[in-house]
């Protein structure tokens, strides 16, 4: 529920914001105060999250502190569970609520006006029903003097946030529906306190490291869970999905592992002490951290087939931690040197230029996360050590400039994550010296208005689901080739066997050959005209019990090939067209769509 401060004689917006450790603009936006920023005596202001602790000084009394913050004595007594005669001691940390947990109805008020004033809106509409329900009102009629609890409303926007919550021995992955405000437990006693949910790009699966350091894969729609692998240590493990949703990548002590989700096959790249393995957006290369021959931490790129490892940094300092590639593949961020001091750095891979983020005053900057358009970074900066630690939720651009604080958490540090459209940031709060986060919050990046979405014990991690694909699918059916599959419905036919759209294409063919599938794939991949570049990747698989392969292009693929990849599969029974017999079906498509289309292939 929202907390309200009553304006008193002599108050100004700046003074009130400063007193409760928030910004003037945040206070203005939370209360829909007009642009001339006027307030009046007796006005009730909803106070956003801020600095709600005070360290007792020699000579302080409850009355003196309450007078200093201009709030009722009872608010401090209740927040700190104090008993008469309310003795306090120097250096004692007190919780200082900015007011009372209810709004007192004024003459002329209505549920609509109250909801509009304090942002109780869902999908742009004032949610009077939520106010009525929270207060057990039998109707919308209210009267002056009535005390109302004012809730935070669900946004009413499409979206899902996955988070980890629970208790010793029973942590799980939960889902919060941003539209309805409903929560759903996705797993059953499979998580650990260190479990982080990693969404697949098409948001139909979540991977996480859970109980027993096992990597689990859970289907969102059905809740069906599969075990993939077991790590020697779960804390700090990082999982990353390929752009086409088909490969989950992670590291083990001397290996980079690529797990084919559709075929349950593993590909191993030998690499000592690799961490933070992740895909470049072209789906053909990986980025990772590993020590060089002198034991110094460096960043490398490597082809997904394990070839062409290239060092891309010339580090001479500390270890690269929390390495994260930007969604467009142009930048990479990392933190260094360690946990007690953590400074964020950004490297522009196109120029080699490096930038340092100023960050918080204590040099404790954690969980840096890229916005989806790669223009900004959000992170948690620990501050206010003398008050028992708080975290500033900060943003900066991809050169480390234009840093600003958009919200405050009362946790030492908190994971943060961007909404898919880049307008909001989710984070955790509700920490004390005894317990972990108990609240999931979201703040508007532009207006700096925060809402508490979830209250639940021991929330440990979060990740916003990727944006749902805007593509609807249609079924392509070719009776001559005896095959059908799904493709983006907005693509248009340009020939009997080819369709094209703004974001991709497909084309199909058949092949007659007595050779094995291995030979057919090799011949296609290494055609004399090099349609897949000089070093294509061939991945053998099995679809519907038939031998098949994928061919992915290398970085030097000719631009006119439009990122073409290939899928070749042996027919269950050879087909005849005219007087010729064909043993293989070939699907060419851009590498961003080929796996998804192949997953729907059926022989007819």
Residue with the two structure tokens 């604080």: 405
Q: Which of 432, 464, 496 is the last residue of a domain?
A: 464
Q: List the domain range (segments joined by +) for residue 69.
A: 4-148
Task: Name the E strands within 134-272.
Answer: 147-148, 160-165, 172-177, 183-185, 198-199, 205-209, 214-219, 225-230, 240-241, 247-252, 255-260, 265-270
79 and 200 together in one domain: no
pTM for this structure?
0.78
* Phi (first) and psi of residue 123, to 5 degrees: 55, 35
122 and 90 together in one domain: yes
Q: Which of 442, 464, 486 is the last residue of a domain?
A: 464
Give the SS3 label for residue 213: helix
Give 150-161 pLDDT, tens digit per residue. 999 888 888 999
DSSP assigned state of 387: G
26 and 48 together in one domain: yes
Q: Is residue 522 part of a domain?
A: yes
Instruction: Answer with the residue of higher pLDDT: 501 or 205.
Output: 205
CA gap 548, 538 in Å, rounded: 10
Give 502-547 pLDDT, tens digit per residue. 778 999 999 999 999 999 999 999 999 999 999 898 988 888 788 9
248 and 190 together in one domain: no
Average pLDDT, the chain: 91
489 and 378 together in one domain: no
Give the SS3 label for residue 512: coil
Give 161-184 pLDDT, tens digit per residue. 999 999 888 999 999 999 888 999
CATH of the domain at 15: 3.10.350.10
Residue 400 predicted with pLDDT over 70: yes
Q: How many domains does the chain have?
A: 4
CATH of the domain at 453: 2.120.10
Q: Which of 418, 433, 464 is the last residue of a domain?
A: 464
Q: Is residue 63 part of a domain?
A: yes
219 and 116 together in one domain: no
Structure tokens at 210: 């859970």
Residue with the two structure tokens 């790009």: 201
Q: Is 573 exposed, middle or buried (0-12, 13-18, 19+ CB in 10 A)?
A: exposed
CA gap 549, 594 in Å, rounded: 12
85 and 225 together in one domain: no
Residue 260 predicted with pLDDT over 90: no
Structure tokens at 544: 């519907």
Q: Is residue 155 part of a domain?
A: no
Give 44-82 pLDDT, tens digit per residue. 999 998 888 899 999 999 999 999 999 999 999 998 999
């Amino acid at each position: 529920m929202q907390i309200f401060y009553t304006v008193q004689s002599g108050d100004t917006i700046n003074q009130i914001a400063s007193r409760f450790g928030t910004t003037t603009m945040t206070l203005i936006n939370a209360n829909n105060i007009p642009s001339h920023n006027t307030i009046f005596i007796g006005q009730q202001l909803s106070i956003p999250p801020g600095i709600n602790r005070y360290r007792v000084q020699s000579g302080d009394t409850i009355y003196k502190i309450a007078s200093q913050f201009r709030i009722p004595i009872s608010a401090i007594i209740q927040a700190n569970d104090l008993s008469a005669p309310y003795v306090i001691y120097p250096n004692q940390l007190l919780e200082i609520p900015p007011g009372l947990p209810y709004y007192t109805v004024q003459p002329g008020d209505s549920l609509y006006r109250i909801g509009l004033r304090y942002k109780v809106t869902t999908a742009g509409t004032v949610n009077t029903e939520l106010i009525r329900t929270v207060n057990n009102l039998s109707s919308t009629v209210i009267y002056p003097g009535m005390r109302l609890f004012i809730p935070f409303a669900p946004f009413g926007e499409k979206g899902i946030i996955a988070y980890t919550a629970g208790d010793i021995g029973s942590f799980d992955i939960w889902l919060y529906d941003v539209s309805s405000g409903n929560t759903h437990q996705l797993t059953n006693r499979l998580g650990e306190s260190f479990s982080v949910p990693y969404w697949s790009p098409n948001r139909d699966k979540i991977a996480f490291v859970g109980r027993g350091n096992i990597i689990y894969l859970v289907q969102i729609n059905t809740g069906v869970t599969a075990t993939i692998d077991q790590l020697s240590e779960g804390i700090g493990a990082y999982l990353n999905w390929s752009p086409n949703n088909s490969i989950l990548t992670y590291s083990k002590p001397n290996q980079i592992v690529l797990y084919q989700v559709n075929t349950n096959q593993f590909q191993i790249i030998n690499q000592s002490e690799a961490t933070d393995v992740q895909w470049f957006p072209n789906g053909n290369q990986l980025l990772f951290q590993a020590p060089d021959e002198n034991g110094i931490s460096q960043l490398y790129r490597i082809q997904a087939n394990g070839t062409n490892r290239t060092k891309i940094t010339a580090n001479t300092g500390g270890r690269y931690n929390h390495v994260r590639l930007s969604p467009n593949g142009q930048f990479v961020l990392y933190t260094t040197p360690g946990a007690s001091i953590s400074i964020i750095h950004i490297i522009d891979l196109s120029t080699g230029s490096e930038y340092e983020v100023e960050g918080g005053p204590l040099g404790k900057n954690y969980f840096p996360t890229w916005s989806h358009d790669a223009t900004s970074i959000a992170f948690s900066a620990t501050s206010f050590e003398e008050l028992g630690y708080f975290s500033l939720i900060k943003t900066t651009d991809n050169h480390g400039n234009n840093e600003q604080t958009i919200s405050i958490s009362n946790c030492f540090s908190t994971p943060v994550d961007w909404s898919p459209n880049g307008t909001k940031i989710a984070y955790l709060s509700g920490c004390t010296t005894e317990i972990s986060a108990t609240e999931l919050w979201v703040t508007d990046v532009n207006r700096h208005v925060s809402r508490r979405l979830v209250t639940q014990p021991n929330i440990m991690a979060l990740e916003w689901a990727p944006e749902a694909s805007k593509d609807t699918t249609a079924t392509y059916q070719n009776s001559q080739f005896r095959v059908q599959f799904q493709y983006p419905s907005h693509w248009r036919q340009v020939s009997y066997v080819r369709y094209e759209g703004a974001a991709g294409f497909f084309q199909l063919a058949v092949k007659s050959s007595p050779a094995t599938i291995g030979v057919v794939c090799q011949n296609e991949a290494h055609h004399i005209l090099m349609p897949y570049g000089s070093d294509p990747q061939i991945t053998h698989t099995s679809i519907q019990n038939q031998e098949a392969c994928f061919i992915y292009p290398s970085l030097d693929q000719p631009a006119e090939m439009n990122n073409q990849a290939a899928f070749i599969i042996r027919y269950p029974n050879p087909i005849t067209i005219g007087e010729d017999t064909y043993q293989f079906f070939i699907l060419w498509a851009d590498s961003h769509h080929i796996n998804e289309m192949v997953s729907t292939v059926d022989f007819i």
